Structure 1
Amino acid sequence: MNIKEASQQTGVTATTIRYYEKEGLIPAIDRNDVGVRAIDDRIIRRINFVKTMRAAGMSIEALKEYIRLFDAQEDNTAQQFKLLNEQIAIMAEKRDDLQTAIDHLRWKVDHYEDHMAVTEEELRAVEKNRADQ
Protein backbone atom coordinates (compact mmCIF):
# COMPACT_ATOMS: atom_id res chain seq x y z
CA MET A 1 0.00 0.00 0.00
CA ASN A 2 1.10 3.59 -0.45
CA ILE A 3 1.60 6.15 2.29
CA LYS A 4 -1.90 7.61 1.92
CA GLU A 5 -3.47 4.19 2.42
CA ALA A 6 -1.16 3.49 5.36
CA SER A 7 -2.16 6.83 6.86
CA GLN A 8 -5.84 6.00 6.54
CA GLN A 9 -5.34 2.53 8.02
CA THR A 10 -3.26 3.65 11.00
CA GLY A 11 -4.70 7.10 11.69
CA VAL A 12 -1.17 8.52 11.48
CA THR A 13 -0.61 11.34 9.01
CA ALA A 14 1.63 10.79 6.00
CA THR A 15 3.92 13.52 7.33
CA THR A 16 4.25 11.69 10.64
CA ILE A 17 4.96 8.39 8.87
CA ARG A 18 7.75 10.09 6.92
CA TYR A 19 9.07 11.55 10.21
CA TYR A 20 8.98 8.12 11.89
CA GLU A 21 10.99 6.73 8.98
CA LYS A 22 13.49 9.60 9.03
CA GLU A 23 14.00 9.20 12.79
CA GLY A 24 14.43 5.42 12.54
CA LEU A 25 11.31 4.68 14.55
CA ILE A 26 10.12 2.48 11.70
CA PRO A 27 12.36 0.59 9.30
CA ALA A 28 13.27 2.17 5.98
CA ILE A 29 10.31 1.71 3.65
CA ASP A 30 10.90 0.01 0.33
CA ARG A 31 9.90 1.96 -2.75
CA ASN A 32 8.42 0.72 -5.99
CA ASP A 33 9.82 1.34 -9.48
CA VAL A 34 8.63 4.96 -9.55
CA GLY A 35 9.80 5.81 -6.04
CA VAL A 36 6.47 5.51 -4.22
CA ARG A 37 6.70 4.00 -0.75
CA ALA A 38 5.44 0.42 -0.71
CA ILE A 39 4.23 -0.14 2.84
CA ASP A 40 3.61 -3.68 4.01
CA ASP A 41 2.06 -5.20 7.13
CA ARG A 42 5.41 -5.16 8.95
CA ILE A 43 5.62 -1.38 8.57
CA ILE A 44 1.95 -0.94 9.53
CA ARG A 45 2.54 -2.92 12.71
CA ARG A 46 5.58 -0.76 13.57
CA ILE A 47 3.66 2.46 12.86
CA ASN A 48 0.90 1.30 15.20
CA PHE A 49 3.45 0.36 17.85
CA VAL A 50 5.13 3.77 17.67
CA LYS A 51 1.74 5.50 17.70
CA THR A 52 0.73 3.58 20.83
CA MET A 53 4.00 4.26 22.63
CA ARG A 54 3.86 7.97 21.77
CA ALA A 55 0.27 8.09 23.05
CA ALA A 56 1.63 6.56 26.27
CA GLY A 57 3.90 9.58 26.51
CA MET A 58 7.19 7.93 25.57
CA SER A 59 9.67 10.47 24.27
CA ILE A 60 11.17 10.09 20.81
CA GLU A 61 14.58 9.50 22.39
CA ALA A 62 13.34 6.77 24.72
CA LEU A 63 11.37 5.18 21.91
CA LYS A 64 14.43 5.18 19.65
CA GLU A 65 16.38 3.43 22.37
CA TYR A 66 13.62 0.88 22.93
CA ILE A 67 13.42 0.14 19.20
CA ARG A 68 17.22 -0.11 18.98
CA LEU A 69 17.14 -2.68 21.77
CA PHE A 70 14.23 -4.52 20.15
CA ASP A 71 15.91 -4.65 16.74
CA ALA A 72 19.27 -5.80 18.14
CA GLN A 73 20.31 -9.40 17.69
CA GLU A 74 20.94 -10.02 21.39
CA ASP A 75 18.42 -10.36 24.20
CA ASN A 76 17.84 -6.91 25.65
CA THR A 77 14.74 -7.73 27.63
CA ALA A 78 16.12 -6.31 30.89
CA GLN A 79 16.90 -2.94 29.28
CA GLN A 80 13.51 -2.90 27.54
CA PHE A 81 11.75 -3.56 30.85
CA LYS A 82 13.77 -0.77 32.43
CA LEU A 83 12.68 1.71 29.75
CA LEU A 84 9.05 0.63 30.07
CA ASN A 85 9.13 0.92 33.86
CA GLU A 86 10.69 4.36 33.61
CA GLN A 87 7.87 5.37 31.27
CA ILE A 88 5.28 4.04 33.72
CA ALA A 89 6.85 6.17 36.46
CA ILE A 90 6.80 9.26 34.23
CA MET A 91 3.17 8.71 33.28
CA ALA A 92 2.16 8.04 36.90
CA GLU A 93 3.75 11.33 37.93
CA LYS A 94 1.88 13.16 35.16
CA ARG A 95 -1.34 11.43 36.20
CA ASP A 96 -0.79 12.51 39.80
CA ASP A 97 -0.11 16.09 38.74
CA LEU A 98 -3.29 16.12 36.65
CA GLN A 99 -5.30 14.61 39.51
CA THR A 100 -4.00 17.30 41.86
CA ALA A 101 -5.06 20.00 39.41
CA ILE A 102 -8.48 18.39 38.91
CA ASP A 103 -8.99 18.08 42.66
CA HIS A 104 -8.01 21.73 43.13
CA LEU A 105 -10.45 22.91 40.46
CA ARG A 106 -13.21 20.66 41.81
CA TRP A 107 -12.68 22.18 45.28
CA LYS A 108 -12.93 25.68 43.80
CA VAL A 109 -16.17 24.77 42.01
CA ASP A 110 -17.61 23.12 45.11
CA HIS A 111 -16.65 26.15 47.25
CA TYR A 112 -17.30 28.89 44.74
CA GLU A 113 -19.79 30.83 46.85
CA ASP A 114 -17.92 30.62 50.15
CA HIS A 115 -14.39 30.98 48.78
CA MET A 116 -14.03 31.98 45.14
CA ALA A 117 -16.75 34.64 45.10
CA VAL A 118 -15.35 36.20 48.30
CA THR A 119 -11.76 36.10 47.00
CA GLU A 120 -12.76 37.55 43.63
CA GLU A 121 -14.66 40.36 45.34
CA GLU A 122 -11.60 41.14 47.46
CA LEU A 123 -9.43 41.23 44.32
CA ARG A 124 -11.88 43.56 42.61
CA ALA A 125 -11.77 45.89 45.62
CA VAL A 126 -7.95 45.91 45.56
CA GLU A 127 -7.95 46.66 41.82
CA LYS A 128 -10.53 49.43 42.28
CA ASN A 129 -8.50 51.00 45.12
CA ARG A 130 -5.38 50.83 42.99
CA ALA A 131 -7.14 52.48 40.05
CA ASP A 132 -8.55 55.21 42.32
CA GLN A 133 -5.09 56.17 43.63
Structure 2
Amino acid sequence: MKYSIRQAANISGLSASTLRYYESEGLLPHIQRDENSRRYYDESNLEWIAVINCLKSTNMPIEQIKKFVALHGEGDKTLYQRLEMVLKHRENVRKQIDELNEYMDHINYKVDYFKLACELGTEKELKKKKYPEHLYIRDDE
Protein backbone atom coordinates (compact mmCIF):
# COMPACT_ATOMS: atom_id res chain seq x y z
CA MET A 1 0.00 0.00 0.00
CA LYS A 2 1.14 3.54 -0.73
CA TYR A 3 0.81 6.39 1.76
CA SER A 4 1.14 10.12 1.16
CA ILE A 5 3.44 12.09 3.44
CA ARG A 6 0.37 13.32 5.33
CA GLN A 7 -0.88 9.76 5.83
CA ALA A 8 2.58 8.59 6.91
CA ALA A 9 2.77 11.49 9.34
CA ASN A 10 -0.62 10.58 10.81
CA ILE A 11 0.31 6.92 11.12
CA SER A 12 3.71 7.62 12.68
CA GLY A 13 2.64 10.50 14.90
CA LEU A 14 5.39 12.65 13.39
CA SER A 15 5.00 15.81 11.36
CA ALA A 16 5.46 15.89 7.60
CA SER A 17 8.41 18.26 8.10
CA THR A 18 10.04 15.70 10.42
CA LEU A 19 9.64 13.01 7.77
CA ARG A 20 11.18 15.32 5.15
CA TYR A 21 14.04 16.06 7.58
CA TYR A 22 14.63 12.34 8.16
CA GLU A 23 14.79 11.83 4.42
CA SER A 24 17.17 14.76 3.86
CA GLU A 25 19.45 13.46 6.63
CA GLY A 26 19.63 10.03 5.03
CA LEU A 27 17.60 8.31 7.72
CA LEU A 28 14.91 7.34 5.20
CA PRO A 29 16.92 6.80 2.03
CA HIS A 30 14.39 4.81 0.03
CA ILE A 31 11.39 7.11 -0.20
CA GLN A 32 9.83 6.77 -3.60
CA ARG A 33 8.09 9.43 -5.64
CA ASP A 34 5.12 9.29 -7.94
CA GLU A 35 4.87 10.70 -11.47
CA ASN A 36 4.26 14.18 -10.00
CA SER A 37 7.39 13.89 -7.83
CA ARG A 38 5.35 13.60 -4.63
CA ARG A 39 6.75 11.36 -1.93
CA TYR A 40 4.95 8.21 -1.05
CA TYR A 41 5.66 5.75 1.72
CA ASP A 42 5.19 2.00 1.85
CA GLU A 43 5.05 -0.47 4.74
CA SER A 44 8.83 -0.82 4.75
CA ASN A 45 9.24 2.95 5.13
CA LEU A 46 6.72 2.99 7.98
CA GLU A 47 8.67 0.23 9.74
CA TRP A 48 11.87 2.28 9.41
CA ILE A 49 10.09 5.36 10.71
CA ALA A 50 9.03 3.33 13.77
CA VAL A 51 12.62 2.13 14.33
CA ILE A 52 14.03 5.65 13.96
CA ASN A 53 11.35 7.06 16.25
CA CYS A 54 12.14 4.40 18.86
CA LEU A 55 15.88 5.04 18.74
CA LYS A 56 15.48 8.81 18.78
CA SER A 57 12.92 8.69 21.61
CA THR A 58 15.37 6.66 23.67
CA ASN A 59 18.09 9.26 23.15
CA MET A 60 20.19 7.67 20.45
CA PRO A 61 21.95 10.58 18.70
CA ILE A 62 20.93 11.26 15.11
CA GLU A 63 24.50 10.56 13.95
CA GLN A 64 24.32 7.07 15.49
CA ILE A 65 20.95 6.46 13.87
CA LYS A 66 22.44 7.52 10.52
CA LYS A 67 25.26 5.06 11.05
CA PHE A 68 22.77 2.30 11.89
CA VAL A 69 20.75 3.04 8.74
CA ALA A 70 23.92 3.15 6.62
CA LEU A 71 25.10 -0.17 8.03
CA HIS A 72 21.72 -1.69 7.23
CA GLY A 73 22.17 -0.50 3.66
CA GLU A 74 25.42 -2.45 3.45
CA GLY A 75 23.57 -5.69 4.11
CA ASP A 76 24.35 -8.81 6.08
CA LYS A 77 28.08 -8.12 6.36
CA THR A 78 27.19 -5.52 9.03
CA LEU A 79 24.93 -7.71 11.16
CA TYR A 80 27.43 -7.94 14.03
CA GLN A 81 28.09 -4.21 13.97
CA ARG A 82 24.37 -3.49 14.13
CA LEU A 83 23.94 -6.02 16.93
CA GLU A 84 26.70 -4.28 18.91
CA MET A 85 25.04 -0.91 18.37
CA VAL A 86 21.69 -2.18 19.54
CA LEU A 87 23.20 -3.95 22.56
CA LYS A 88 25.03 -0.79 23.59
CA HIS A 89 21.90 1.27 23.11
CA ARG A 90 19.86 -1.19 25.15
CA GLU A 91 22.33 -0.77 28.03
CA ASN A 92 22.04 3.02 27.76
CA VAL A 93 18.25 2.75 27.85
CA ARG A 94 18.44 0.50 30.93
CA LYS A 95 20.54 3.16 32.66
CA GLN A 96 17.99 5.82 31.71
CA ILE A 97 15.19 3.67 33.10
CA ASP A 98 17.08 3.15 36.37
CA GLU A 99 17.63 6.88 36.68
CA LEU A 100 13.99 7.63 35.91
CA ASN A 101 12.91 5.07 38.51
CA GLU A 102 15.00 6.91 41.10
CA TYR A 103 13.34 10.16 40.13
CA MET A 104 9.95 8.48 40.31
CA ASP A 105 10.72 7.33 43.87
CA HIS A 106 11.51 10.93 44.76
CA ILE A 107 8.33 12.21 43.11
CA ASN A 108 6.22 9.55 44.85
CA TYR A 109 7.74 10.58 48.17
CA LYS A 110 6.82 14.21 47.46
CA VAL A 111 3.26 13.21 46.53
CA ASP A 112 2.91 11.39 49.85
CA TYR A 113 4.51 14.33 51.65
CA PHE A 114 2.10 16.87 50.18
CA LYS A 115 -0.93 14.65 50.69
CA LEU A 116 -0.05 14.36 54.36
CA ALA A 117 0.68 18.09 54.59
CA CYS A 118 -2.74 18.79 53.06
CA GLU A 119 -4.42 16.47 55.55
CA LEU A 120 -2.60 18.17 58.44
CA GLY A 121 -3.12 21.62 56.98
CA THR A 122 0.57 22.43 57.42
CA GLU A 123 4.09 21.41 56.46
CA LYS A 124 5.53 22.57 59.75
CA GLU A 125 5.94 19.15 61.38
CA LEU A 126 6.85 17.41 58.15
CA LYS A 127 9.76 19.75 57.43
CA LYS A 128 11.49 18.42 60.54
CA LYS A 129 11.68 14.96 58.98
CA LYS A 130 14.55 13.97 56.71
CA TYR A 131 14.19 12.37 53.31
CA PRO A 132 15.04 8.69 53.18
CA GLU A 133 18.62 8.57 51.94
CA HIS A 134 17.76 6.84 48.66
CA LEU A 135 15.59 9.81 47.64
CA TYR A 136 18.36 12.38 47.69
CA ILE A 137 19.37 13.51 44.24
CA ARG A 138 23.06 12.87 43.89
CA ASP A 139 25.35 15.06 41.81
CA ASP A 140 28.03 12.39 41.59
CA GLU A 141 26.23 10.26 39.00
The answer to whether 1:117 aligns with 2:119 is: no
Contact between 1:29 and 1:37, CA under 8 Å: does it hold in 2? yes
More helix by share: 1
TM-score of the superposed pair, with normalisation by structure 2: 0.69
In the TM superposition, what is the alpha-carbon distance from 1:4 to its structure 2 partner? 1.0
Instruction: Name whichever of 3-12 and 48-57 sits farther off.
Output: 48-57
Please tell me the residue identity of whatever aligns with 1:48: A
Q: RMSD of aligned C-alpha atoms?
A: 2.7
TM-score of the superposed pair, with normalisation by structure 1: 0.73
Q: Which runs of 5+ in 2 are unaligned?
A: 129-141
Bigger Rg over Cα: 1
What per-residue deviation string (whole Å, max 9, x for no partner) do you get for residues 90-119 of structure 1? 1111111111122223334445669x9348
1:65 — aligned with what?
67
Assess, with a 3 A threshold, how the Cα gap between structure 1 residues 85 and 117 changes in structure 2: closer, same or farther.
Answer: same
Work out the CA distance in 1 between the residues paired with 2:7 and 2:97: 35
Q: Which runs of 5+ in 1 are unaligned?
A: 123-133
The answer to whether 1:49 aligns with 2:51 is: yes
Work out the CA distance in 2 between the residues paired with 1:14 and 1:92: 31
Please tell me the residue identity of whatever aligns with 1:81: L
Identity over aligned residues, as a percent? 26
